[in-house]
Structure formats: structure tokens, C-alpha cells
Structure 1
């Protein structure tokens, strides 16, 4: 290339250092911009990965009736598609769970939270792709 060996060596070292710097820059940017898997999802992510159930009205074990609807938040787009396809199974799980409860079991925030956890666990047993992160109660009337 060049007649001077020193120039050749310096040019090779300069190119090698530049390549190492570019590779290091790309790797650092890629890993620094990666989202934290333990971070709480944003409200936009929750809405984008949620499914709303239709309003469900059924009798309780205590001869009262409940009217409720839920928002089911899943962990991925594939899980959202699956839970939408399993709408009838989700409704069945909710109806069976409600029909086995008394109004006193569902009273207060603790009762609703326990019911939401129960529904989440039962739906997760069905899921093949992804999982339900949270079940939110969006409407709730017991009479």
C-alpha cells in the first residue's frame, strides 16, 4: 500500500480502533435503550394490551344478584388475541365464580380484590400464549 511500514501500521491501528469504538457505541446504545422488564407498564401499554368483557349479570349463592364488567390486562399482543378468542371461556369462568359466592364474600375492596385474583388465576390456567397480569373491575353492582 504505502512504502513506509510505519504509516501502514498506524493506519491499521487507527482503523481497528475506529471499528472497536463504533461497535462499543452501538452495543452501549442498544442495551441502554432496552426497557426494564420489571418496570410498571404505562397507561398506554395497559390500554393497548387489555380486553373489556361485556357486562355480566348473574345470581349469587345468597339469592342476590351482581352486575359487573371487567378489563383484563395481558402481557403481550399474542395473549390479547388469545383472550379475545377465549371470550366465551372467560365469561364462563366469571359466571361460575360469581355463582359460588355470597354477597358478603364480595363486599368491600378485599372481596373484590380476592375475586379479581381468583379470576386471573383461573384464566391463566387456560392461557397458552402469555398470561393475564391483572383483572380490573370496571363496573360492580350487587343487589
Structure 2
């Protein structure tokens, strides 16, 4: 390669050491470093970041009255604190969405799931410190 034998030996040794270093780093990061798996939260962790609304009573579009309660699962405790401060805005969003629904929208799970999704999306629009992961309708009475 080069005419100087010492330079060739030094170049081979440096290349070998560099290759061994890179290989060591790759193996270490792939096999020996602990990885945080995105596992599901335990029930205690979910309860820590969940907030339940007061009972909300309002009229539906079909002249029926609904009493409902919701549980909101948030992504962190800062979001929980913010959510509790915004409770009047959250209740307003829920009442607005319920006012546009009919009694027949609650006959199956499809309508309830759609309502939960709409409420989650609208609440996420006003949240600053986190977001709503899931909305659960845990009580409903239609009269």
C-alpha cells in the first residue's frame, strides 16, 4: 500500500481498534443496556392520573334529560392539576356535546364511544400541560 512499512502497520492497528470500538458500542447498546418498554400502566398509575367529573344533568336534542359522569385519564400529574383547574370548561364541553345528541345515540356502545372520542379531542384542544389519554363514561341515566 504505502512504501513505509511502519506506517502501514500503524494504519492497520488503528483501523482494527476503531472497528473494535464501534462494534463494542453497538453490542453494548443493543444487548446490555436496559430498555424502557412502553408497557401498559398499572391500575394504581391510572388512578393517579385520572379525574372524575361531577354528575352533569342536561337536556338532549330529543327532549330527554341525561345525567352522566365521566372519568378522564390523563398522561401525567401536571395535566391532572391543569384539568382540575379547567373543570368548568370541561363541563361546558360535555354539555355542548350532549346537547347535540339524541336519546337514540345512546342505544349502543358505538354512540358512547363516539361521544368519548369527541370529548377527548375537544378537551385536548384546550389543555396546555398534557393531554387526555382516554375518556370513560361511567354513569348515564336518560329520562
Distance 1:58 1:91 in 2: 11
Relative to the length of structure 2, the TM-score reads 0.75
What secondary structure, in the 3-state scheme, does the structure 2 residue paired with 1:62 have? coil
Runs of 4+ in 1 over 2 A off after TM superposition: 34-37
1:92-114 CA distance string (max 9 Å, x none): 00000001111112221111111
| Range moving further from structure 2, 63-72 or 98-107 | 98-107
The residue matched to 1:57 in structure 2 has which SS?
Answer: strand
1:36 matched to 2:37? The reply is yes
Quote the residue 1:53 is aligned against: 53
Matches of 2:36 and 2:86 in 1, distance apart?
A: 30
**How far has the Cα of 1:35 moved from its partner?**
3.7
Corresponding residue of 1:64: 64
TM-score (norm 1): 0.75
- Equivalence for 1:133: 133
Residues of 2 paired with 1:133 and 1:115: CA distance? 14
RMSD over aligned Cα, in angstroms? 1.8
* Number of equivalent positions: 115
Stretches of structure 1 that go unaligned for 5 or more consecutive residues are 1-23
Distance 2:37 2:53 in 1: 30
* Cα distance in structure 2, aligned partners of 1:62 and 1:52: 26
Indicate the SS of the match to 1:114: helix
Segments of 5+ residues of structure 2 without an aligned counterpart are: 1-27
> 1:123 deviation in Å?
0.2
